[in-house]
Amino acid sequence: MPAEGGYPRTSSSPSGFAALDAMIRPSSVAIIGASDDPTRIGGRPIAYMQNQGFAGTILPVNPNRPVVQGLPAFASVAALNQVPDVAIVAVPGESAVQAVADLGAKGCPAAIVFTAGFAEVDEAGAAMQDRLVAAARQHGMRILGPNCLGLFNAAVGFYPMFSTSFEQGWPLPGNIGIASQSGAYGTHLFATSRARGLGTPVCVTTGNESDVSLGEVIGWMAQAPEVEVICAYAEGIRESARFIAALDLARRNRKPVVMMKVGRSELGGHAAKSHTASIAGDDAVTEAVLSEFGVVRATTTEQMLDIAYAASRRIYPAKNTLGVITVSGGAGVLISDAAEAAGIPMPPMPEEAQAHLKGLISFAAPRNPVDCTAQAVNQTETFEHFLEVTAEAGGYQSMLVFLTQTGGSTTMAPKLRPYLKQAREKFADRLWVLSVIASPDKVKGYEEDGYIVFEDPTRAVNAIQAMGRFGAAFATPAAGEFVVPRVTLPATTPTEAEGKRILAAAGVPAVPEKACASVEEAVAAAESFGFPVVAKILSPDILHKSEIGGVILDLASADAVREAHATLLSRAAERAPGARIEGVLIAKQIKGAVEMALGVARDPVFGPVAMVGLGGVFIEILKDVAFRRCPFSVTDAEVMIRSLKGFPLLDGARGRPKADVKALAGALAALSRFAAGAGDRLLSVDVNPLLVLPEGQGAFAADAVIEVEETHA
């Protein structure tokens, strides 16, 4: 695990991320363990940098050779004739620790540690890694790695990396940056990108992340001129502050991030006690954080590179709509299905424009997809008309033109290409995508004209959808500052009644209720609320009362309340022996409400995360839930609520009255502020059900559990 406490780090500000310049864009580099053999780990970086024209100074350190690969070598770090901006450490074990200490004493600000055998291996390796970090910390030195494959910045010919990938070719010019926790997979992405003709001038692999983290690398790319599109590979997010600051900076700078996050696991510790925590796995929380900042998640290398390729055009429609021109009705259906699955609207063409296009080709189907048929490409002037009318009259932000083999035809392509180019230039603010089967030279020509080109139209649709997600994120105003209240939690987990009192004070109102120590108090409370009422066992040791039969509904008389009181006490004694019983809770029974659930789980990386979903037992069965980092606004809360598949139940489906969504959103946002202000002792909150009444009538917690870390005097 990375050392978090006390280590000098860059701040999360843009200038803080730029502090990694010495590591990624240096003017001098020392190689500790430099080899004269260009195929060895300590030799490859020197050979690569000399081959690619690194303009800075290369300082080999080797006590046994006066010259390494034609360069004057130095016997030790102390003997260096200048302080390098960065050093490569390619010596084993404790020698690497000593090298870092020597470099720090010399004043070197950064080191890239290739050496393996540290925390990735065993406890002894972890202890050695701690010594490595301590040696760097003493001098305020930054460390990439250890167990790190390195990085490259082709823009300056800097190649502190020992990968064999360069034997098959160098990075192509372009604007895509790769940030990867895995060295092997990072260079796999680079090699695959190169094979597809995509330019990746920068690749940084982070290894064990003893210091520099994936988030910091993303942050550096978010402010670096070399990079406009960021591809990230993560096996786990180990720290949150810099990661979140990096994603925020990327969004502010309109630099899309596409991430492959692998590994799925459940939150540990308190998952058994908290329904919210049992549903919110690490992966679900990470997904929520990525969505918050408009990061698009890829599940395959192909998908990642498709999205990066499309993003390199730097056209991100904020309110994405798709217009399709096709020479095949079947392809139009396929594209429509893909667009519906991806959630991209395909509004129909205006009636007047449809009539106009049918006047040109009577058997065309110009609704959208606009099927111009093969006749239009045989009449190229007509094809031009279809392109421009569809773009202008439809007003679509993205245009997909399906030409299949016709677009690659040696006879037809030269006739069609000028019209395609003209349409793209006339509507240059739109995202233009072409689906063709063509030779590489023809594809290159279309790309030079400004088109994104895919053979498979479904892949094209998915890339278009991703560009719209980026655009929507870039158009979203940055979150403002939240006033987070100071919350004082009780010393131990409170009862349901106390928990609801605490939440009501925070802005999550509760159903009218009273904690009753005797049966006479219970009857009096029920009569004051009016029947029917609900009776619940009241105990700090019974968090989920329904599991022991601790809730009785529909009590319509005083006698029913007396009988329920006795039944609850009997069940508690039988099914939860030893539990502290503080009485019975009597609550007004509310009918005609939609049952929802709110919750908070404490993620080990991102802190408190709030949840909303359908209430009752359905939350665990359907898992139709939405998550977001705390705190957040009422507007954000409503977006979460509207993202649920079950939202129609709140929105008047099948003749139901519309529920009070504003009250629900207000309660959810209030819960998020409470969680943010409660600190690390708050382990979880479950409000289930939250009864949402018809519009204008409010939302009320019918049950609540607040779980806290107990304090001991």
Residue type, 113: V
Amino acid 274: pLDDT: 40
Q: Are strands 370-371 and 71-72 parallel, antiparallel or unpaired?
A: unpaired
pLDDT band at 477 (very low <50, low <70, confident <90, very high): confident
Greater pLDDT, 627 or 280: 627
Question: What is the set of domains in the chain, with CATH numbers?
Answer: 21-148 (3.40.50.720), 149-205+212-312 (3.40.50.261), 322-446 (3.40.50.261), 512-588 (3.30.1490.20), 594-708 (3.30.470.20)
pLDDT of 380 reads: 84
- Of 160, 248, 246, the closest CA to residue 207 belongs to 160
Q: What is the pTM of this model?
A: 0.89
Query: What's the pLDDT score for residue 277?
Result: 40
- Among candidate residues 206, 637, 653, 704, the one with its CA nearest the CA of residue 501: 704
Sign of the torsion angle spanned by Cα atoms 118, 124, 128, 130: positive
> If DSSP codes are grouped into helix, strand and coil, which group holds residue 575?
helix
Residue 337 has pLDDT above 80, yes or no: yes
pLDDT at site 353? 96
Across-strand partners of 205? 180
Among 571, 583, 421, 398, smallest CA distance to 497 is for 583
> Over the stretch 100-158, which tens digit does the pLDDT of each residue have?
999 999 999 999 999 999 999 899 999 999 999 999 999 999 999 999 999 999 999 99
Q: 229 with 312: CB under 8 angstroms?
A: yes
Give yes or no for a contact between 89 and 129, defined as CB atoms under 8 angstroms apart.
no
Q: What is the pLDDT of residue 264?
A: 61
**How do strand 551-555 and strand 533-538 relate by DSSP bridges?**
antiparallel
Contact indicator for 155, 145 with CB cutoff of 8 Å: no
H/E stretch holding 248: helix 241-252
- Please tell me the predicted confidence (pLDDT) of residue 408: 95
| Percent share of the chain, pLDDT over 70 | 95
For residues 675 and 606, is the Cβ–Cβ distance under 8 A? no
Q: What is the DSSP letter of 101?
A: H
Q: How confident is the model at residue 712 (pLDDT cuts 50, 70, 90)?
A: low
Helix axes 380-394, 351-360, angle to 10 degrees: 180
Closest CA to 76 of 65, 63, 94: 63
Percentage of the chain surpassing pLDDT 90? 85
- The span from the CA of 283 to the CA of 298, in Å, is 13
Instruction: Give the pLDDT mean for 405-415.
Output: 94
Angle between helices 329-342 and 457-475 (to 10 degrees): 40
Cα 356 from chain centroid (whole Å)? 45
Q: What is the dihedral of CA 109, 183, 268, 125, to 10 degrees?
A: -60
The dihedral over CA atoms of 670, 676, 677, 678, expressed in degrees to the nearest 10, equals 100
Residue 525 is predicted with a pLDDT of 97
Q: What pLDDT is attached to residue 485? A: 86
In the chain the first and final C-alpha atoms are separated, in Å, by 32
Beta strands in 129-280 (DSSP E): 142-144, 151-153, 176-180, 202-205, 229-234, 257-261
Task: For 526-571, list the strands marked E by DSSP.
Answer: 533-538, 551-555
Q: How far is CA 612 from CA 164, 329, 585, 708, in A?
A: 48, 42, 25, 20
* Residue 71 scores a pLDDT above 60: yes
Instruction: Tell me, rounded to whole angstroms, the distance of Cα 393 from its chain centroid.
Output: 36
Residue 654 phi/psi, 5° resolution? 55, 45
Tell me which amino acid residue 429 is.
D
CA atoms of 524 and 463, how far apart (whole Å): 64
Q: What integer best gives the mean pLDDT of the chain?
A: 92
Can you tell me the distance from the alpha carbon of 35 to that of 42, in angstroms, rounded to the nearest whole number?
A: 5
635-645 b/e (C-beta count within 10 Å ≥ 16 → b):
ebbbbbbeebe
SS3 category, 324: strand
Summarised one tens digit per residue, pLDDT across range 339-351 is: 999 999 999 999 9
Q: Nearest CA to 402 among 439, 366, 454?
A: 454
- Residue 576: pLDDT above 50? yes
pLDDT tens readout for residues 181-212: 999 999 999 999 999 999 999 999 999 999 99
Strands 583-588, 513-516: parallel, antiparallel or unpaired by DSSP?
antiparallel
Interval 635-690: pLDDT, tens = 999 999 999 999 999 998 888 899 999 999 999 999 999 999 999 999 999 999 99
Residue 3 pLDDT > 80, yes or no?
no
Whether pLDDT at 9 is above 80: no
Tell me the C-alpha distance between 106 and 80, whole Å: 9
> In 476-557, which residue ranges form alpha helices assigned H by DSSP?
496-506, 519-529
pLDDT above 80 for 236: yes
Dmax over CA atoms of the chain, in Å, equals 100
Is 683 in contact with 270 (CB distance < 8 Å)?
yes
On the question of pLDDT at 482 being above 80, the answer is no
C-alpha 126/C-alpha 79 separation (Å) is 30
Contact (CB, 8 A) for 562 and 651: no
pLDDT at 713: 54
Contact call for residues 463 and 298 (beta carbons, < 8 A) = no
Burial 98-122 (b: 16+ CB within 10 A, else e): bbbbbbbebebbbbbbbbbbbbeee
pLDDT at 272: 31
Nearest partner of 287 among 523, 28, 603, judged by Cα: 603
Residue 531 predicted with pLDDT over 60? yes
Dist. CA 396–CA 208, nearest whole Å: 46
Query: For residue 381, is pLDDT > 80?
Result: yes
Residue 477 CA to chain centroid, in angstroms?
18
Compute the distance between CA of residue 289 and CA of residue 269 in angstroms, rounded to an integer. Answer: 21
Question: Counting Cβ atoms within 10 Å, is residue 236 exposed (0-12), middle (13-18) or buried (19+)?
Answer: middle
CB 112 within 8 A of CB 150: yes
In which band, very low, low, confident or very high, does the pLDDT at 239 lie, cut at 50, 70 and 90? Answer: confident
- Is there a contact between 217 and 20 (Cβ–Cβ < 8 Å)? yes
Structure tokens at 30: 């020392």
